[in-house]
Amino acid sequence: MEVKNTNITIDTQALTPTFTIRVDLEFGHKVEAPISISGRLLSNDGKVIAFLNEHQVNSETNYGISILTREQKDKLYREKSVNSYYAQLTANLTNKAIEHIEIQREKDHEKSVRFNLDFVVKYIDIPAEPQNLVADNLVRLQVKRPYSNIVIKQSDWVKNFSPQLGIGNFLLLELQIPDDKKVTEFWKDLYAKLTHNLKDIETCLRSGDWQKAMFFARKFFENAKIGDNKKAHSKFKEEFNKLMTKDQHSQEGIDDLHTAIWKLFEFISKYVHDKDKEGNLNPLPVSTKEDACFAYAIALGLLNLIGRKTIAD
C-alpha cells in the first residue's frame, strides 16, 4: 500500500469552511484490499488544523483478494500489479484554525500555505498460501501511518482559497464594503477614486502584502483630505461642510473630522517615506497585518460616511 498523490480543494457545498482532500492509494492487486483511511491535517509548525474523515466516495467499487502461493504473490509484486483507490477526506475548519493558517503563511518566505498530512490507513491482506490452516494466519489486518505534504502557492491561495474561507472579510463583519454608490455628479469622480484606492488595499490584505496595503492606504487618505485648505480642495470642503451641517453637525465637529483625516494621512505617510519633513533619513515603521487592517477599517468607514452624505436623492 502506498500514498501516491494528494490534492486539496474547498468544499463549495459545505455551509462551514471545509477542505476536501483527495488521496490516491495504490494496493497490491489480488493481495490487498482497503478498509478505511483517516488522519490529521497539520500546519507547518505541527499544530492540528483539523481531523480527516472519509464521508464520500467517487463511485461504488469492490476489491477482491485471493489465496496465492508465495511465488504467485512475489510475481504480482515484481510486476507492480496494483489497484487504485481514490479517497476523499473532509477537514472542517474553525475560525481559530483559519487564523493559524494565515499566521503561518505570513511567516513563510514565499507566503505559501504548507500542510502536513498524517494518515491512518487500514487494509487487509492474505499471506502466501498457508501450510497449516489452524496455526497460520489466513487474513491479516494491516495498519499503516503514511505521511504526505501539500504546498499551496500564494497566488493559488489568494485566488481559490481566501475568498471562500472569508479571509480579508471576517474581521470586518459589521462593515459594508461600498460599491456602486449612486453619489451625485459632483462627487462621482472623487468617490470613484476613493473606491478604487480601497479595493487596492483589500487586494493587498488578501495577498498578505501589508507594506503595499499601507502604500495604497496613504493614497486613499491623500485623496480624502479635502479639508487641508488646498485650492483644488476648497469646493469639496465647502460642499461636504454643507452636507454635514444638514445632519446637525457643529462647525467644530466638522473641523475636527477634517483634522483627523489629515492627521491620519500624516501618520500613514510614515510607512511610505524614507525621510521626515526635515529631510532626515528614518527607518520605515514595520507594516503588519494589524497596521493594514487598522488603515483599511478606517478607510472603509470613512468611505461609507462620505457615500451616505453624498448619495443622490
Distance CA 153, CA 304 (A): 34
Packing angle, helices 251-269 and 234-246, rounded to 10: 130
Residue 40 has pLDDT above 70, yes or no: yes
Q: Which of 67-76, 129-138, 168-177 has maximum average pLDDT?
A: 67-76
Pairing between β-strand 48-57 and β-strand 82-92 as defined by DSSP bridges: antiparallel
Name the residue ranges covered by the structural domains of the chain: 2-161, 168-310
Q: Is residue 263 within a helix (H) or strand (E), and if so which, with residue range?
A: helix 251-269
Global pTM value: 0.55
Over range 281-302, report the average pLDDT: 90
Residue 134 has pLDDT above 60, yes or no: no
At position 135, the amino acid (one-letter code) is: A
Taking the alpha carbons at both ends of the chain, their separation in whole angstroms is 70
251 phi and psi, to 5 degrees? -65, -35
Q: Cβ-count burial of 78 within 10 angstroms (0-12 exposed, 13-18 middle, 19+ buried)?
A: exposed
Contacts 24+ apart (CB under 8 A), 192-195: 193/223, 194/220, 194/223, 194/224, 194/303, 194/306, 195/303
In the chain, the percentage of residues whose pLDDT exceeds 70 is 88
Cell numbers found for residue 258: 477634517
Same fold, 2-161 and 168-310: no
Q: What is the pLDDT of residues 100-109, one digit of tens each?
A: 998 898 888 8
Residue 179 has pLDDT above 70, yes or no: no
Note the CATH architecture for domain 2-161: Sandwich (2.60)
Q: What is the pLDDT of residues 48-63, one digit of tens each?
A: 999 999 987 776 777 7
* CATH tag, 168-310: 1.20.120
Tell me how many degrees the CA angle 189-194-195 measures, rounded to the nearest 5. Answer: 95
Distance CA 122, CA 77 (A): 19
Cell numbers found for residue 16: 462551514
